[in-house]
């Protein structure tokens, strides 16, 4: 028989997927309106996302291009006058000649241990370039993973630091955005256990926030760019966090994780063939 806890988790996931689908539809409608308004206003509108959206930031429109010398990525910088206090000036990653072969491990060192994420550079060269930039500037050091729901832990807000929680947690990010890549295709589930993906508020709105998946889920995929997969030791940590649950602060089955997870640092290991 299905336990009460399992039914509650399934119901919470269903509610979240429905809400995320509704948000995605709303984002598509906003983008249609923004097309006729102009790029500057569009960036401003996207940058004002709600605290409990899966992510908060807008990005560029150009797809990464593979060349003989590597990948080319487009980064859209948010003008200083349009940045909220939670946005961190991270400069811009390199644009051309980016590694697009082999793999690279992103080591997320936390207070609970390391979560090692393997990135396929042929599929996600711009995502890797983004995190190389953030890691080199210690943008996410000492930030707390600010959001959880059954089977998911969201991290990557550089402003979510210190003790206690704030309404602004979940609204922070770098001073640029970038386009989606490596979206799931026909895989079922779209986001299986072990996947790590970018959080967003619609297509092309990637920044620094991302989430770990510890239970198979569809979300409202395929709307979230896949970074890579976390190792088994990392999954054990995620299982511990998931078991503790969240404080329900989101009012929709989501909340802050009861077991604190603080990112001490992120390191991008050397590229492997």
Q: Which residue has the higher pLDDT, 271 or 21?
A: 271
How many structural domains does the chain have? 1
pTM for the predicted model, two decimal places: 0.79
Residue 124 pLDDT > 90, yes or no? yes
Residue 54 and residue 66: Cα distance in Å, rounded? Answer: 29
On whether the CB atoms of residues 111 and 262 are closer than 8 A, the answer is: yes
**Domain span at 253:** 4-268
On whether the CB atoms of residues 261 and 246 are closer than 8 A, the answer is: no
Q: Is residue 150 included in any domain, yes or no?
A: yes
Residue 246 pLDDT > 80, yes or no? yes
Sign (positive/negative) of CA torsion 193, 181, 14, 115? positive
Q: Is residue 188 included in any domain, yes or no?
A: yes
Rounded to an integer, the average pLDDT of 126-141 is 98
Q: Which of 50, 208, 63, 200 is nearest to 138 (CA)?
A: 208
Q: Is residue 258 included in any domain, yes or no?
A: yes
Q: Is residue 273 included in any domain, yes or no?
A: no
pLDDT number for residue 154: 98
Range in 15-19, 226-230, 267-271 the model is least confident about = 15-19
Rounded to an integer, the average pLDDT of 161-180 is 96
Q: Is residue 27 included in any domain, yes or no?
A: yes
CATH number of the domain enclosing 163: 2.40.100.10
């Amino acid at each position: 028989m299905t336990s009460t806890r399992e039914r509650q988790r399934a119901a919470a996931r269903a509610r979240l997927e429905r809400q995320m689908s509704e948000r995605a539809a709303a984002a598509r409608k906003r983008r249609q309106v923004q097309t006729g308004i102009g790029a500057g206003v569009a960036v401003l509108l996207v940058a004002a996302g709600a605290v409990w959206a899966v992510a908060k930031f807008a990005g560029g429109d150009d797809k990464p291009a593979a060349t003989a010398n590597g990948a080319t990525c487009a980064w859209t910088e948010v003008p200083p006058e349009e940045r909220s206090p939670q946005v961190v000036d991270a400069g811009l990653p390199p644009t051309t000649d980016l590694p697009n072969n082999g793999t690279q491990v992103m080591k997320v060192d936390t207070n609970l241990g390391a979560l090692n994420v393997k990135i396929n550079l042929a599929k996600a060269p711009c995502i890797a370039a983004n995190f190389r930039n953030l890691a080199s500037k210690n943008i996410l050091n000492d930030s707390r993973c600010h959001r959880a729901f059954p089977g998911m832990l969201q991290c990557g807000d550089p402003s979510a630091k210190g003790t206690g929680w704030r309404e602004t947690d979940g609204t922070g990010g770098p001073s640029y955005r970038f386009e989606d890549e490596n979206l799931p295709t026909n895989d079922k589930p779209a986001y299986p256990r072990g996947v790590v993906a970018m959080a967003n508020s619609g297509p092309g709105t990637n920044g620094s926030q991302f989430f770990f998946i510890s239970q198979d889920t569809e979300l409202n995929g395929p709307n979230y760019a896949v970074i890579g997969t976390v190792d088994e030791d990392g999954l054990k940590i995620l299982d511990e966090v998931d078991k503790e649950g969240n404080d329900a602060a989101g009012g929709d089955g989501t909340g802050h994780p009861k077991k604190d997870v603080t990112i001490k640092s992120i390191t991008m290991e050397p590229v492997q063939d």
